[in-house]
Chains A and B, each alone.
Chain A
Amino acid sequence: MRELAKSVRLRTYVIRRLILAIPVLFGVSVMTFTLSHIVGGPIGAVASYVQNEQQLHNPAVLDLLIKQHHLDRPLYEQYFYYLVELINGDWGYSRTGRQPVLNAIGQYFPATFELALVTTIISLVVGVAIGIVSAVRKDRPIDHVTRVFSLTGVSMPVFWLGLMLQFMFYYTLRISGLPYLPSSGRVDIFVALDYPLQTITGLYLLDSLLTGNLPFFLSSLHHIILPSLALSFTSLAMIARIMRSSMLEVMRQDYITLARSKGLSEKVVIYRHALRNAAIPTVTSTGLMFGALLGGATLTETVFAWPGLGKWATAAILTTDIATVMGFALIVAVIYVTVNLIVDLVYGFFDPRIRYG
């Protein structure tokens, strides 16, 4: 009975959260609409639907597109049509991706997802370990070292770290004639030609494993090492910081003192009692971080020529490809809202005290 009541409460909570997300997404669409009118330049929002440079300077085509997308109507009507088109899946045409925006997102998203996933796994494992060590040995030398390390991570210009890694593991190793790591791309083009990948999910590592394509797997593994290292440095530092402070917070609680005075070993106290409670803020921030990474690590993807959302959007904005930019902004907002919801739900899983009232 109680289980049932809980699941009903959970469902109403999810529904309420989804309803609450609507105004946010609505607001973001207003913002993209406004921006596309401002950024679109002299020809305005119609730039979102133009397919190439020739069309951009062809008045006949522009007129046709304006009619087609109701851009000659008053602004509020334009916005209404814009919304209808968004819901129908017409997000404009990405000149950078040479395809409709939604298709392009479908193409670039897996690359970003893969990078985000590997990065999150690395930073979660290392970050939590560092955080625990730092908290348990508070104010000892190791704590100071890890604190400086995690502060360095937060202060690190990621694009610069990426360049440094490229210099060390690509340039230096290569000129010394040692085996080196690739500096850009997702997979070696020759490997991709010799052992073509059968796409299932779009995640190269997973697909190549599933289809038993070992050369492809190794090549994509090589390619993901440097960008994921560069990215995870910052996020593992953040995780370590949060883990440290929540561990310290928990270690001050009465039940820890109780556990200790019961005569439990320090190991049990830390891993059984403290860690589980300290994990909650870490779960939240890891989730949010993962969401942020899914939104495309613009700088890292640009440095490593990683064909993901971030690089696509950066290239687009430098050429004022407005449809791509707005599509990117919308998808990031959708990801943000979704990830927030999932994180809140996971929260309840970790902490049974939380009720979805």
Chain B
Amino acid sequence: MNTTNIERIGMRAEFITWVGNITIVIKRGLQVHRNNHKTKLDSYKKADRSRHRRWREELEPRLKEFRYTLHLLKRSPLSVAGLLLVVSIIILAIAAPWIAPYGPEERNWHATKLPPSAEHLFGTDSMGGDVFSRVLWGARLDVGLAIMVVTVDLLAGVIVGGISGYIGGKWDEILMRVTDIFLAFPGMILSMAVCIVLGKSLTSIMIGLMIVWWPSYARLIRGQILAERERLYVVAARAAGASNRRIVFQHLVPNSIYPLLVAATLDIGNVILSAAGLSFIGFGAQAGVAEWGLMISDGRAYGFLQGSWWMVVFPGLAILITALAFNLLGDGLRDVLDPRLRR
């Protein structure tokens, strides 16, 4: 920092130099401290440093790839929009209790079906609930549910697809026929049947969707592993004497996980759509719960085609925007992570 700068910035620069001096002092002190113990710690440190270096060497390409991925992602405005939307939706969902002016099931029987105003941004529904607050609270239910479903199915898919793809043989045949049956069975009807058996509730919708969704992940990861299994680097690893476990976890899984992540991101949007659809038809939670699909169906039943559009429009927009956000992000990720389109 030269003198002209210090003159110009004055106090702040002084502060900076002061901080700088202190750091120098602390650093020197540490050096002295280190030098004192040099002989004792020498051997340890050598080993430690070499381990550290090895780590860095191993991680370096991955980190570089990751940074490159971020760079590519930043270049595509649509993906950035998706990422920002996803982050803000999640923040809104988490912060709902502090942002929402009313509770999720708060009713005001003197203020039913009011159009949007300053008091009620999105108007009120047929029972006097504030639509704005209910949409915010709904994000917790819908997004949370979708993330749960996709996470569980991702795990199930990795287990089943991994067994199927790597062990192969008889297991592969059996597991794939099972997924065939699930895929041939109408998904909506299967989830509905599950909801009927378990009783109409959001948990049943969640379980129903989990049962419907896992086969596609299993197929995906199996296909990935089959494709990667014969690649040269796997052959090389096998020739170098790597164990099966090492090949699966060090080579196959990291190389097959990206398409799965893309599929999962895209699927969060789809699960939200399905869940909202199911609860729209009437398989969701009990009447009055702040869930988007249910809000739409309530709005439709009580005055939508008599002109009270806000009860239906806003929850629907929430579903659309949330699904769109995850789709934008997933779509961007796919372009970025697809090795064929990458460079």
- Residues on A lying within 8 angstroms of B by beta carbon are 23-25, 27-28, 30-31, 35, 38-39, 144, 147-148, 151-152, 154-160, 163-164, 166-167, 170-171, 175, 183, 295-296, 298-299, 302, 313-314, 317-318, 320, 325, 328-329, 332-333, 336-337
A167 touches B277 (CB 8 A): no
- Residues on B lying within 8 angstroms of A by beta carbon are 77-78, 177-178, 180-181, 183-186, 188-190, 192-193, 196-197, 269, 273, 276-277, 280-282, 293, 296, 300, 304-307, 309, 312-313, 316, 319-320, 323-324, 326-328, 331
Bound complex: CA of A287 vs CA of B75, how far in Å?
Answer: 35
Bound complex: CA of A318 vs CA of B283, how far in Å?
Answer: 8
Expressed in whole angstroms, the minimum distance between the Cβ of A319 and any Cβ of chain B is 10
- 12 A-B residue pairings within 8 Å (CB atoms): A23-B177, A25-B184, A31-B185, A152-B324, A155-B320, A157-B293, A157-B319, A163-B316, A164-B312, A166-B305, A332-B185, A336-B184
Residues in A whose Cβ lies below 8 Å from that of B312: 160, 163-164, 167
Q: A24-B177, A24-B181 are in contact. Are A157 and B277 (CB under 8 A)?
A: yes
Bound complex: CA of A351 vs CA of B294, how far in Å?
Answer: 46
Determine the main DSSP class of A at the interface with B. helix
Bound complex: CA of A23 vs CA of B180, how far in Å?
Answer: 9
A157 touches B185 (CB 8 A): no
A151 touches B328 (CB 8 A): yes
Expressed in whole angstroms, the minimum distance between the Cβ of B141 and any Cβ of chain A is 15
Residues in B whose Cβ lies below 8 Å from that of A171: 305-307
Expressed in whole angstroms, the minimum distance between the Cβ of B101 and any Cβ of chain A is 24
Bound complex: CA of A151 vs CA of B185, how far in Å?
Answer: 26
Residues in B whose Cβ lies below 8 Å from that of A320: 196
A27 touches B178 (CB 8 A): yes
Bound complex: CA of A39 vs CA of B296, how far in Å?
Answer: 28
Bound complex: CA of A182 vs CA of B90, how far in Å?
Answer: 39
Residues in B whose Cβ lies below 8 Å from that of A337: 184
Tell me the nearest residue of chain B to A249, going by C-beta: B340
Bound complex: CA of A274 vs CA of B316, how far in Å?
Answer: 39
Expressed in whole angstroms, the minimum distance between the Cβ of A94 and any Cβ of chain B is 14
Expressed in whole angstroms, the minimum distance between the Cβ of B299 and any Cβ of chain A is 8
Residue with the highest number of chain B CB atoms closer than 10 Å, among A30, A35, A155, A333: A155
Tell me the nearest residue of chain B to A25, going by C-beta: B184
Residues in B whose Cβ lies below 8 Å from that of A332: 185-186, 189
Bound complex: CA of A318 vs CA of B186, how far in Å?
Answer: 16
B193 touches A35 (CB 8 A): yes
Residues in B whose Cβ lies below 8 Å from that of A38: 197
Q: Contacts A155-B269, A157-B293, A160-B320 known; list 12 others, CB within 8 Å.
A: A152-B324, A154-B269, A157-B273, A157-B320, A158-B277, A160-B316, A163-B300, A183-B305, A299-B280, A299-B281, A329-B190, A333-B185
Residues in A whose Cβ lies below 8 Å from that of B197: 38-39
Residues in A whose Cβ lies below 8 Å from that of B269: 154-155
Residues in B whose Cβ lies below 8 Å from that of A325: 189, 192-193
Expressed in whole angstroms, the minimum distance between the Cβ of A139 and any Cβ of chain B is 9
B280 touches A329 (CB 8 A): no
Bound complex: CA of A324 vs CA of B318, how far in Å?
Answer: 34
Residues in B whose Cβ lies below 8 Å from that of A159: 277, 280, 296
Expressed in whole angstroms, the minimum distance between the Cβ of B84 and any Cβ of chain A is 15
Tell me the nearest residue of chain B to A332, going by C-beta: B186
Across the interface, B327 reaches (CB within 8 A) one of A30, A31, A144, A151, namely: A151
Residues in A whose Cβ lies below 8 Å from that of B183: 336
Residue with the highest number of chain A CB atoms closer than 10 Å, among B184, B281, B328: B184
